[in-house]
A and B are shown apart, each in its own frame.
Chain A
Amino acid sequence: MLLRIITSLFIFICTSTAWAYPNFVGFGYQSCLTCHYNPFGAGPLSDYGRAVGATVVAAKDLSSDKTTDEELGKKSGFFYSENKNDWLRPSLDYRGLYLKTNFRSESETSDFIHMDANVNVVLRLGPKDNKDKVIISSSFGYAPKPRANPESVSKEYRSREHYIGYRMTPSIGIYAGLMDKIFGIRVADHIAFSRTSTSLTQNDQSHQVMLHYTKEKIEAGTSIFFGNLSQDEEVRQKGFSGKVEYNFTPKLRAGGSLLISKSKYLEQTSMAVQGKAQFGKGNSLLAEIGQTKRTVIAANTSVSSRYLFLQNHIKTRRGLFALSTVEYFKANTDKDSEIFRWGPGIQYFPQQGIELRTDIYNTRIFSPTAVSEDLWTFTAQTHLWF
């Protein structure tokens, strides 16, 4: 039964949209603001972020040998061209996933899922010497119905992000609109227990007012959120979240997160400690340990869950990374059942705007009352952005 739930969750969650890669801390980019308009990552890339993607992260395997990094950087704008102006930044992106679950067993299934297809627009409205001082960012696109619940009434087209941002100073920014909540490490893996157990998956954005602070060794953020205004009032989770991180060394950043929210039916408190470390050039290790307490208000019952997320990124050559994800999850800290999941994978950026990724996940359940088979899942992802 538990295995079936995990399989369904996997399929459900795989319709993800985020494209934040905190693994790029391996290149010395400690702060997400370096490459993204959203200071906590995900969403459209800034001009600098696109240039970094083209010249540092991605390989040049589809370009001629004579193409220089300078040329790639210049043509890292919309549809691989130079930006035509300094105020409008459109972008498109698409993710498709080939998913095979329970392979090597009788109940093996496979499918191809169009995870998302988005149109993003950023308006840069700041003064000429600092266009990013004021931005309006919006994203709209395809969001397939949950595969575990095809009868769901959720819409297949939605906006997952739209907000106004104002950098009062280079250190302080204020943002208002629909965004992901601030908490933990914003990884692209929406199946991660650190995302599912904290209700921070691909459709958990909230309307909020967010404050961001960064200075030398410290980065912090806090937000007050009101739930997604497109949802019914009763189910909207309202509350606040915050995160602070400190650079203990130029290659090691660690900190903590807190999220408290409440709706008419459910209360949630989540806490986490997270860290990001750089090894050499292009290699990283991410770690997050956290706990979430959920209270069903009507029944006045609470369940606490605990998780560990560990992900490494190893650069074998430009554009090609080996990665593996190790996760631990205890759905109820009062009980002895726990889950471990391992996922070695390969991530390949042959060129700017193209990502190919494949992972194998092995999920193992430890229960004091039953012994079950491991669950094996294979995924192959294509991500294109323009």
Chain B
Amino acid sequence: MVLRAFLTFFILFSLVEPGIARTRKQRRDASKRDKRTFKKAKAAYSNGRYNLSLSILKKRYDLKSAATPSGALQLAAWDYEKLGAIKNAQNIYAILIKSRFKSINTKVLRSYNKNGNADDLPDEIPEKLLTYYHKRAEMLVQIYMREYAKSSNDRRERFRKNAKRLLDILTESDYEEDDAVEELLANLERFVKAKKDKIYNTNYYGSFDYISWRDKIELVTPSGLKVNLKTSNQGYCVGGGVKFENATYVWNLGGCYAFTNATVGTSQSEISYFQKNVPVNMLMFTPGTLWKPRSGEVAIGMSFPLAYRSGDFTEPEGYTLESKVKFTYGYLLEGHWKLNPLDFVLKFGKVVGMSSSLWSFGLRYNL
């Protein structure tokens, strides 16, 4: 009985043991091969031969498989990073995170997605995982910035959100390289803001200004003598327009119709002419551009008015008035202050054919 049991065991062992021994040998050989491969690849990396390092690794391993040893995957990620193939490097880190730290990573992401922030993360996030998060975040930020122009909005947003999520997690955890993380976050936010600041928005507005200008017209006497008449005009200008603005520049197409009263007279002694409360109207079209020096609530710039002015000046019998109607142009310095939904606007400048300045101040209502 015993002998039979012993013989059975001996026969079975003789049949199986070579297989086990073969497997053990295979494993030993595989391990030796892994070590040789890794050593060669690492040497190539150290010598700056990143392509060679990668090809050595690729011959031995599938770099998209979680079964590949961590060391090989890490080295491949470094190779890709050095070669500028950031997407490939980022994918490897994603594999490492999901396969090596599956459970804790799931917990961290679940907490973040549930709260919308990193305030309630699990304790004891392994340092290695945080390092992988950092590397991956770095690469996501690079991809986001590099491919911003050619990516769709959705794709951009995905990269940005993923990067931001990892950076928030790193900021709230006890990760030792918090300065580097802070800088990365700041760079990302600066980039996002810079892109957003460049986007132009279209805004329509209505305007109401108090306006004044000094003008001149000529009175021609029956004998042909020309006498300069000065006019002082003040009143209101009602209008509107459209502006295209981003955080730094404003391009404005506006206009208004001025209803003013003028006082008309002359200082020349040859003639006596005086009129007050003369209705004078002016249609103005004022395209212009402004700059926001601190990208904020104040803008300064210039506009270039085109103006058509007409007035109900009295022509004494036998006399003629020249320049009763005038079509002219000029330049105005402008300042705008945002008092949402209003803008306070000042304008001061010169119009050709008018004897002194034209200025106005008023409000714009942004529609």
State which of B232, B274, B356 has its C-beta within 8 Å of the C-beta of A366: B232
Which one of B231, B264, B266, B333 contacts A344 once the chains associate, using CB atoms below 8 Å? B333
The 8 A CB mask of B316-345 against A (1 = contact, 0 = none) is: 000000000000000001010110000010
Query: A366–B234 contact, CB under 8 A?
Result: yes
Q: Which residues of B contact A280 (CB under 8 A)?
A: 294, 296-298
Determine if A364 and B232 form an interchain contact, defined as CB atoms under 8 angstroms apart: yes
Q: Let me know if B359 is at the binding interface, CB within 8 A.
A: yes
Most central of A280, A281, A344, A369 by chain B CB within 10 Å: A280
A sample of 22 cross-chain residue pairs with beta-carbon separation below 8 angstroms, ordered by A number, consists of A279-B296, A279-B297, A281-B294, A310-B361, A315-B293, A315-B294, A317-B293, A326-B361, A342-B348, A344-B348, A366-B232, A366-B263, A368-B263, A370-B263, A370-B265, A371-B231, A371-B232, A371-B265, A371-B274, A372-B267, A373-B267, A374-B355
Judged by a CB distance under 8 angstroms, whether B357 is at the interface is yes
User: Does chain A have a CB within 8 A of B346?
Assistant: yes
> Which A residues touch B359, using CB under 8 A?
326, 340, 342, 362
Whether a CB of chain A sits under 8 angstroms from the CB of B230 is yes
Complex CA distance for A228 and B212, rounded to whole angstroms: 41
Evaluate contact between A374 and B356: CB separation under 8 angstroms.
Answer: yes
Determine whether B300 belongs to the interface, using a CB cutoff of 8 Å to chain A.
yes
- Give the bracket for the number of chain A residues in contact with chain B: 20 to 34
Residue of B nearest to A279 (CB): B297
- Given the interface pairs A342-B357, A374-B357, the reply to whether A314 lies near B335 with Cβ below 8 Å is yes
Chain B residues near A282 (CB-CB < 8 A): 294
B214 located at the interface, meaning its Cβ lies under 8 Å from any Cβ of chain A in the complex: yes
A125 within 8 A of B: no
- Which DSSP category, helix, strand, loop or mixed, fits chain B's interface? strand
Establish whether residues B297 and A326, one from each chain, have CB atoms under 8 Å apart when the complex forms.
Answer: no
Q: CB-defined interface of A305-323 with B at 8 Å, one 1/0 digit per residue?
A: 0000010101111000010
Question: How far does the alpha carbon of A373 sit from the alpha carbon of B230 in the complex, in Å?
Answer: 8
Residues of B within 8 A of A376 (CB): 356
B357 CB to nearest A CB, Å: 5
Given A281-B296, A283-B296, A364-B214, output 19 extra A-B contacts at Cβ < 8 Å.
A279-B337, A279-B338, A280-B296, A281-B294, A283-B337, A285-B337, A312-B337, A315-B293, A315-B294, A317-B293, A342-B357, A362-B348, A367-B263, A369-B274, A370-B263, A371-B230, A371-B231, A371-B232, A372-B267
Q: B58: which A residues are within 8 A, CB to CB?
A: none
Q: Which of B231, B263, B274, B298 has the most CB of A within 10 A?
A: B298
When C-beta atoms are compared, the residue in chain B nearest to A376 turns out to be B356
Please indicate the chain A residues that have their CB under 8 angstroms from the CB of B267 in the complex: 371-373
In the bound complex, residues from chain A placing their C-beta under 8 Å from that of B190 are: none
Q: Using Cβ atoms and an 8 Å threshold, which residues of chain A touch B335?
A: 312, 314, 322, 324
B36 beta carbon closer than 8 Å to chain A: no
Name the distance in Å between B277's Cβ and chain A's nearest Cβ: 8
* Nearest CB of A to B265, in Å: 4
**Cα distance, A279 to B214, chains bound together (Å):** 32
Q: Which residues of B contact A310 (CB under 8 A)?
A: 361
Question: Is B276 part of the binding interface, using a Cβ–Cβ cutoff of 8 Å?
Answer: yes
Question: Chain A: which residue is nearest B356 at the CB level?
Answer: A374
Chain B residues with CB under 8 A of A326: 346, 359, 361
Separation in Å of the A347 CB from the closest CB of chain B? Answer: 14
* CB atoms of A322 and B231 under 8 A apart: no
Quick one: CB contact mask for B99-123 with A, threshold 8 Å, 1 for yes? 0000000000000000000000000
Binary interface profile of A, 371-382, with partner B (CB < 8 Å = 1, else 0)?
A: 111101000000
Q: B296: nearest residue on chain A (CB-CB)?
A: A280
- Shortest Cβ distance from residue B359 to the other chain A in the assembled complex, whole angstroms: 5
Question: Within 8 Å CB of B348, what residues of A?
Answer: 324, 342, 344, 362
* A-B pairs with lowest CB-CB distance, top 6: A280-B296, A371-B265, A374-B356, A279-B297, A283-B298, A316-B293
B233 to chain A: closest residue by CB = A366
CA distance A236 to B335 in the complex (A): 43
B346 pairs with A312, CB closer than 8 A: yes
Are A283 and B357 touching (Cβ within 8 A)?
Answer: no
| Chain B residues positioned under 8 Å from A362 (CB to CB) | 348, 356-357, 359
Interface string of A269-289 (1 = CB under 8 A from B): 000000000011111010000
**Chain A, 220-251, CB within 8 A of any chain B CB:** none
Contact B293 A314 (CB under 8 A): yes
Q: Which chain B positions have C-beta within 8 A of A365? A: 232
> Is the beta-carbon distance between B214 and A374 smaller than 8 angstroms?
yes
> What are the residues of chain B within 8 A of A279 when measuring CB–CB?
296-298, 337-338
**Is B356 a contact partner of A373 (Cβ separation < 8 A)?**
yes
**Cα distance, A369 to B300, chains bound together (Å):** 37
B255-270 at interface with A (beta carbon < 8 Å): 263-267
Instruction: Determine the residue in chain A with the shortest Cβ distance to B277.
Output: A368
Is the CB–CB distance between B212 and A371 below 8 Å? no
Q: Which of A345-373 contact B (CB under 8 A)?
A: 362, 364-373
The residue in A322, A324, A370, A371 that gathers the most chain B C-beta atoms within 10 A of its C-beta is A371
Q: A312 CA to B230 CA in the complex, in Å?
A: 31
Which residues on the A side are within 8 Å of B294 (C-beta)?
A: 280-283, 315
Give 1 or 0 for each of B180-199: 1 = CB within 8 Å of chain A CB. 00000000000000000000
Q: How far is the CB of A359 from chain B (nearest CB, A)?
A: 12
B276 contacts A314, C-beta separation under 8 Å: no
Nearest-neighbor residue (CB-CB) of B349 within chain A: A344
Nearest CB in chain B: distance from A26 CB, A: 9
